[in-house]
Amino acid sequence: MIANNVIKACIFDLDGVIVDTAHYHFLAWKRLANELGIDLTIEDNERLKGVSRLDSLEIILNLRGISLPTEEKERLANKKNSWFVDYVLRMSPDEIFPGVKQLIHELKKQNIKIGLASSSKNAKTVIHLLQIENEFDAIVDGTMIRYSKPDPEIFILAASKLGVEPQHCLVFEDAEAGVEAALAAGMKCVGIGSANQLGKADIVISKTGEFNIATLQQLSTV
């Protein structure tokens, strides 16, 4: 019998976990916010991580209590996205965070399935540019979900595509909303970033490439 907590699948967020596109999202949102006369700080930006495009815009507008008609919000969100896509299209495969590809290969050697769960509608473009689209056994992106993180929908869907029950899944997340979503899905979670921000995760490491099989085994026994 397999113990309840053995890890059989690892599900990776994309932006800020596999590559530093989280920074590109920040630059594009900051530029849009500046045009609206809003100063978007790094602290404010933490709340945008893992959150859908329109929900992110809403958070920014709420910083100044601005309310706008839907069409205008869509126009602004599209503008931000075109700047973001400009950054992304200049990316090369060597921008993948150090050690991430090796980690995925190590996990596969342990018969661990690999999933991607990103709220971004640009996720497939990003993994194509990084030349890693064939590394994943299942991919869920922002075009396939109704609710963005912290709702667990994205991780539940990824687990079902992988054919692995949530309790056997381990999520890698850099967003507070993403950690909450993973835990709400009944999964274990590795926070990538600072323990202040991601303290609810089972463990927090500063970089994805620092994770190793020994840590995986520890998480499988607690």
Which stretches of the chain bind ligand G6P, using CB under 6 A?
Answer: 15, 22, 25, 48-53, 56, 81, 118-122, 142, 175
- Minimum separation from the CB atom of position 162 to Mg ion (A): 19
- Chain centroid to CA 40: 20
Using the minimum distance from each CB to ligand G6P, give the nearer residue, 53 or 113: 53
- Minimum separation from the CB atom of position 52 to ligand G6P (A): 5
DSSP state of 97: P
Is residue 15 annotated as part of the catalytic site, yes or no? Answer: yes
* Distance set, CA 221 to CA 6, 7, 19, 195 (Å): 7, 9, 29, 22
Binding to Mg ion (CB under 5 A): which residues in 6-35?
13, 15-16
Scan for tokens 């949102």, then name that residue. Answer: 29
Scan for tokens 């990084």, then name that residue. Answer: 130
* Distance set, CA 82 to CA 40, 71, 219 (Å): 19, 17, 40
188 binds, among Mg ion, ligand G6P, none (CB under 5 to 8 A by kind): none
Q: Is 174 in the site for Mg ion (CB under 5 A)?
A: yes
Is residue 174 annotated as part of the catalytic site, yes or no? Answer: no
Burial of 198 from C-beta contacts in 10 A (0-12 / 13-18 / 19+): buried
- Minimum separation from the CB atom of position 142 to ligand G6P (A): 4
Q: Which candidate in 15, 141, 174, 202 is catalytic?
A: 15
25 binds, among ligand G6P, Mg ion, none (CB under 5 to 8 A by kind): ligand G6P
Query: Residue 141: phi, psi to the nearest 5?
Result: -125, -175
Using the minimum distance from each CB to Mg ion, give the nearer residue, 13 or 46: 13
Using the minimum distance from each CB to ligand G6P, give the nearer residue, 138 or 219: 138
45 binds, among ligand G6P, Mg ion, none (CB under 5 to 8 A by kind): none
Using the minimum distance from each CB to Mg ion, give the nearer residue, 72 or 210: 210
* Distance set, CA 138 to CA 50, 123, 162, 203 (Å): 19, 13, 6, 24
46 binds, among Mg ion, ligand G6P, none (CB under 5 to 8 A by kind): none
Q: What residue is closest to Mg ion based on CB?
A: 16
Find out whether 141 and 149 touch, Cβ atoms under 8 Å: no
Stretch (H or E) spanning 183: helix 176-184
**Catalytic center residues:** 13, 15
Which residues would be at the binding site for Mg ion (CB under 5 A)?
13, 15-16, 174-175
